[in-house]
Amino acid sequence: MKLSFGFGDGVQEVELPEKNLIATLKANEMEHERRGADAVRYALANPIGKGLLRDEVKPGEKIVIVTSDISRPLPSYDVIPAVLDELSAAGIPDEDITVVFGLGSHRKQTEEEMRHLVGDEVYDRVKCIDSDVDDCINMGETENGTPLDITRSVAEADIRICLGNIEFHYFAGYSGGAKAIMPGVSTPAAIQANHSRMVSQDACAGKLEGNPVRADIEEAGAKVGIDYIVNAVLDEHKHIVYAVAGDVVEAHRVGCAYLDKMYRVEIPERADIVIVSQGGAPKDANLYQTQKALDNSKHAVKKGGTIILIGSCKEGLGSARFEEWLTTAPTAHSMIERIEENFQLGGHKAAAIAMVLENASIDLVSDMDDDFVRSIFLNPQPSAQKALDEAFEKYGSDATVIAMPFGGATLPIAKGNN
């Protein structure tokens, strides 16, 4: 049988006997009642844990809408118009509304990128700006000492409305909710303090309760003050299929439960070989982004197995700090020791790759130079088929295989967690 995996703007195909394939992990079959802007408007008309947005605000208040930057898949142009309609119904003039793109640790955006994210109508209607790490206000700190240094435009607002998409996050459990504030509009120092808890075993994808990273994020959100959220769940093609609105925790939890129904996939057992892709462009432009699929795949592979990671990575590694960690480490394990001693943003993803290497080999099918791939502790392969053929030679003709064509979205859960 033949399987296809997104690779940049093209595909990588593999052929294997059907008897070896345990599962191809894709979204669970679901009928979505609403999509796109319709789903958003329905969520706003049926809020969770709050009243209608129009009843939660009043004229004279300065409103800020925090939304995702260009590196995130949220289609803000499908969300913000409905939010603005609610604010207009409350009598809020456009000049009292500011859209802030939460950059987190990412670069500033161009005007064209901001216009693309929200659409021409919104961009021309209300003020749209990037968060600014050089202009922040301290609003205290969490119990764990994470500083609440928040970009001024958000800190000084009377009402904070946070947008986002909900997907699995490899150490915060899920994206969305208060992540628009921490790390969205926080400083690098604050983000590092929060993310340093990623080394905890409880900081993993699909886990909310007892997750120290998520707990710190939500404490930050509570102390800064989030008045309302609108969060979306996206399908594999990054289109909205469900949305929630209302309380930052209650609504978020309902959205997470819906995501679980779509993408939390039970597998009968872990496999000798896992073939995984982000699904192609733009999510596999660099290894920094492709790592998301790798981290989910670790839940599907046996100890001592092989992960075949498919990602173009035509832009290289995607982060200077990430690159420094990978290219200067004497061994893969040394990056785990380093992150425990001195957490650094960017380095955290290098350490996450090292954590996977503790239990499995990683073959990388990419556009990067073979010698460079070897230097960062991965095994370069010219094609997914060649990688699979070599894996069968290693594990034998009865080796088991799990395919994850949208690895960044699907979270494998082995029966008995074996």
- DSSP summary character for residue 351: H
At 418, the pLDDT band (50, 70, 90 cuts) reads very low
Q: What is the mean pLDDT of residues 74-96?
A: 98
366 has pLDDT over 70: yes
Task: Summarize pLDDT for 170-225 with one digit per residue, the tens.
Answer: 899 999 999 999 999 999 889 888 988 888 889 989 999 999 999 999 999 999 99
Q: DSSP E strands: which ranges in 110-170?
A: 127-130, 136-141, 147-151, 159-165, 168-169
* Average pLDDT score over the chain: 95
97 has pLDDT over 80: yes
Q: What is the mean pLDDT of residues 120-137?
A: 96
Class of domain 2-28+264-417: alpha beta
Q: Write down the domain spans for the chain.
A: 2-28+264-417, 36-234
Return the CATH number of the domain spanning residue range 36-234: 3.40.50.11440
Residue 28, pLDDT score: 85
The encoded tokens of residue 6 equal: 């997104």
Tokens 């504030």 sit at which residue? 181
At 416, the pLDDT band (50, 70, 90 cuts) reads low
Task: Summarize pLDDT for 390-404 with one digit per residue, the tens.
Answer: 999 999 999 999 999
Percentage above 90 pLDDT, the chain: 84
Residue 47, pLDDT score: 98
The candidate with the shortest Cα–Cα distance to 380, out of 356, 394, 363, is 363
The encoded tokens of residue 190 equal: 């604050």
At 417, the pLDDT band (50, 70, 90 cuts) reads low
Roughly what angle, to the nearest 10 degrees, separates helices 320-328 and 347-357?
40
Q: What is the mean pLDDT of residues 148-161?
A: 98
**CA distances to 12, 107, 145, 150 from 162, in Å:** 38, 20, 23, 14
